[in-house]
């Protein structure tokens, strides 16, 4: 979950139910390219699902969608707080650190 403008938004993995789905996934794609240029290496052994593009699957975790949504809907420099009821995987933790450096 993320709160933007006094409204709470929830996301699930591979979520496509949000009105800004297209913009969110486009933002994630741009962020992934920037992270890779900055030295980020996706930890694909964490993607336990049988999917072809494990790197894409990892970048579509709920917290990554929430971060992209927050970046799209807040002023640059605004702190983004994501609340999650489960433990954040180590890949998302690493990706979040890279995002913090590049935005």
pTM of the entire predicted model: 0.87
User: How large is the average pLDDT for residues 67-72?
Assistant: 97
- pLDDT top residue among 47 and 83: 83
> From the CB of residue 75, how many other CB atoms can be counted at a distance below 10 Å?
5
C-alpha 91/C-alpha 22 separation (Å) is: 23
User: How large is the average pLDDT for residues 33-49?
Assistant: 79
- Residue 45: pLDDT band by 50, 70, 90 thresholds? low
In the chain, what are the helix, strand and coil shares in percent, each to the nearest 5? 50, 5, 45
> From the CB of residue 7, how many other CB atoms can be counted at a distance below 10 Å?
8
């Amino acid at each position: 979950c993320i709160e933007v403008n006094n409204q709470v938004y929830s996301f699930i993995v591979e979520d496509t139910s949000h009105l800004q789905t297209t913009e969110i996934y486009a933002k994630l794609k741009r962020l992934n390219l920037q992270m890779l240029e900055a030295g980020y290496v996706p930890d694909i052994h964490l993607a336990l699902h049988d999917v072809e593009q494990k790197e894409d699957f990892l970048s579509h975790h709920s917290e990554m969608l929430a971060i992209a949504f927050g970046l799209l809907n807040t002023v640059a420099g605004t702190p983004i707080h994501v609340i999650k009821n489960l433990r954040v995987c180590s890949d998302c933790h690493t990706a979040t650190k890279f995002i913090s450096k590049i935005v």
